[in-house]
Amino acid sequence: MKTVHNFNAGPAALPPEVLQQIQEEILDLQGTGLSILEISHRSKEYEKINGETQQLLKDLLNIPHEYEVLFLQGGASTQFAMVPMNFLKSGSVASYIHSGTWAGKAIAEARKFGEVAIVASSEKDHFKKLPALDNLKLPSGTAYIHLTSNETIAGTQYKYFMEPQDVPLIADMSSDILSRTIDVSDFDLIYAGAQKNLGPSGVTVVIVRSELLKRISTTIPDIMNYRIHADSRSLYHTPPVFAVYIVNLVLKWIQANGGVRGVELWNRAKADLIYRTIDGSDNFYSGLADRDSRSLMNVTFRTSNEELEKHFLLESERNGFVGLRGHREAGHLRASIYNAITYDQCKALSEFMKDFQKRFA
């Protein structure tokens, strides 16, 4: 096989050990004689995978007993609509933190269901830094506060979150869940598409406080109702069986590698290595995000001109580096260093960047 360093922003790299196990079990899942791709979601084999995966996530994130763990479909984009559909009632207001592209998409969807207030924004800074979370002025009748913990496009990430409020706090953690320790009890609902740190695209994890489910109207379509999915243990309809199975394997891999705390230490070392390469380049490279807002997951940077960046991408691909082109809305360069990316891969990128600088500075 061709060896590549996969720095794609998502779907992202999976641990080689997980890919190996998938390969070994794809034709015969644990002695059943059936592939994971063809077992029934009502079978005892899948019931075990479903329950075990929920418990693994609870253990790794220390999720309190008063929370439900759901496996849904449709990615974070569906959650942009499900959140206001379930909790933004007539006469109330949804308060959003506008931190970048993904927060903006969540805001646009929420406005289709009711009134939205932007209570903090970094738009004037072109989203290169994160809006402060202290001293928020919430409008009367706020149903919930929504924030995006990590913006993959600009490469920004909250280091800390707000103190608990009197209203529910909801977070999109699609691109940094399980990359660092968090206190789940600070949030009332967390959602995350799996395709960054959890597994493949096709399944979305939702962690929701049980008390919040009591607020949901019975008029919401069942398929979009969090309470329905919680009551049926994420088996209300045919779940994304294969995707949940892979999440199960990834969670076991995290558990075997020191848990979330172990992965966090690894991630900080990787990010520090690449940021030091950028900052020590005598302005040959420059970071896109404000230093205090830099992401551990998505390192965004540029060279001095567009032609040089094109050449950087061409040479990087020739040298086995995949996915370093920035998002079309931001351009420039980006290395997404999710959990499955190793320190050695980041070291290889750092060495390539230094060599490229020597030749073209």
- The yes-or-no answer on residue 253 being catalytic is no
Tell me which residue of 301, 296, 276, 261 sits closest to 351, measured CA to CA: 276
Cross-strand bridge partners of residue 156: 151, 294
Residue 101 CB neighbour total at 10 angstroms:
16
Q: Which of 102, 176, 188, 270 is catalytic?
A: 102
- The yes-or-no answer on residue 102 being catalytic is yes
- The yes-or-no answer on residue 128 being catalytic is no
Neighbour-count burial for 147-172, b at 16+ CB within 10 Å, e otherwise = bbbbbbbbbbbbeeebeeeebbbbbb
Q: Which of 128, 129, 196, 270 is catalytic?
A: 196
Q: Looking at 101-242, which runs of residues are DSSP E strands?
A: 115-121, 142-148, 150-151, 156-157, 169-172, 189-193, 204-209
Q: Which of 128, 129, 172, 270 is catalytic?
A: 172
Check: CB of residue 148 under 8 Å from CB of residue 104.
no
Which residue has 């992401």 as its token pair? Answer: 295
Tokens in use for 12?
């992202």
Class of residue 333 by CB neighbours under 10 A (exposed 0-12, middle 13-18, buried 19+):
buried
Q: For residues 157, 159, 347 and 2, what is the CA-based torsion angle, rounded to 10 degrees?
A: -40
Cα–Cα distance, 228 to 248 (Å, whole number):
23
What is the phi/psi pair of residue 90, to 5°?
A: -55, 130
Question: Catalytic residue numbers?
Answer: 102, 172, 196
